[in-house]
Amino acid sequence: MLRFRSLGSGSTGNGTLIESTRNGRTTRLLVDCGFSLRELTRRLAPAGLTPSMLDAVFITHEHSDHVGCALQLGRRHGVPVWASLGTWQAMDRKPAPLRAVGAELVRHVALDGVPIELGGLQVTPFGVPHDAAEPLQLRCTDGVARLGVLTDLGEPTEAVMGHLSDCHALLLECNHDAQMLADGPYPFFLKRRVGGVRGHLANTQSATILDRCRHTGLRHVVAAHLSQQNNTPELAAAALSGVLGCSATEIIVADALQGSPWLDAG
């Protein structure tokens, strides 16, 4: 069984818990860790988990809403930390250096599109256009069900959509409504960055990705990484439900504080 649960999503912190259970063995992967260790502990508790019960953490890129306590998690609880070489190098330029985690827990993702095996999970990272050193997003499978995680990218690309086209569940960035961003309070440079090709997805772009990736086996769509200033859960859900022809209430919107409930990918 493959199931997942957002621990919270947005510019204040992102984390997605993925769990596979096969032949009595459970593997737990945390994708991004944009919280303090105390806050992560608090958010894991409703799932009946503690940080030491995680098998690995995968950092998609070095932005603070994704790294958070990852290095502490490694050091204190012995959880291996996976990231691209570019992300590791970018993190190393920041106040928490690599030595904080311990070399034995550092794991490099070898290449874009090359799968890595984490217990009962196979994870395939892929590169995305985003304003970070070597940003990745991923798809993963327990051998039966497939889940795509896509929280930070500036525009849909053929390569990205190819990686997500047969997933049974998608956690998909719906960062902003283009009109709200244009009319909103951000300074001009920030509007350009967020709306640019290496920034974040507008709801309409998320809808384009979903339209390309939808198929009859798609069970769950979760809207994620919503901007609190430039989007609303209703607008994001409407954009995605419009593609699927379903009720907006069938789209789950990951809350910044509450995340989402457990969802079965297959």
The DSSP H or E segment spanning 65 is helix 64-67
8 Å CB contact between 35 and 69: yes
Long-range contacts of 229-235 (CB under 8 A, 24+ apart): 229/180, 229/184, 229/185, 229/186, 230/175, 230/176, 230/177, 230/180, 230/181, 230/184, 230/186, 230/194, 231/174, 231/175, 231/176, 231/177, 231/180, 231/203, 232/177, 232/180, 235/177, 235/180, 235/203
Q: Least separation, in Å, of the C-beta of 190 and Zn ion?
A: 13
> Which residue number is nearest to Zn ion in terms of Cβ?
63
Residue placing its CB nearer to Zn ion in the complex, 39 or 152? 152
Q: Please tell me whether residue 177 binds Zn ion under the rule CB under 5 A.
A: no
- Beta-carbon contacts of 138 under 8 Å, excluding residues fewer than 6 positions away, are 31, 58, 60, 123, 124, 125, 126, 148, 149
Q: Please tell me whether residue 65 binds Zn ion under the rule CB under 5 A.
A: yes
How many residues of this chain interact with Zn ion, rule: CB under 5 A?
A: 3
Q: Candidates 22-30, 38-46, 62-70, 118-126 — which segment interacts with Zn ion by CB under 5 A?
A: 62-70
Q: Least separation, in Å, of the C-beta of 197 and Zn ion?
A: 14
Q: Please tell me whether residue 152 binds Zn ion under the rule CB under 5 A.
A: yes
Q: Least separation, in Å, of the C-beta of 80 and Zn ion?
A: 22
- Beta-carbon contacts of 109 under 8 Å, excluding residues fewer than 6 positions away, are 82, 83, 84, 85, 116, 125, 136
Q: Candidates 50-58, 119-127, 146-154, 257-265 — which segment interacts with Zn ion by CB under 5 A?
A: 146-154
Q: Least separation, in Å, of the C-beta of 73 and Zn ion?
A: 18
Q: Pick from 3, 5, 63, 220: which binds Zn ion (CB under 5 A)?
A: 63
Residues 215-234, mask of contacts with Zn ion (x by CB under 5 A): --------------------
Residue placing its CB nearer to Zn ion in the complex, 32 or 142? 32
Residue placing its CB nearer to Zn ion in the complex, 145 or 226? 226
Q: What is the binding site for Zn ion (CB under 5 A)?
A: 63, 65, 152
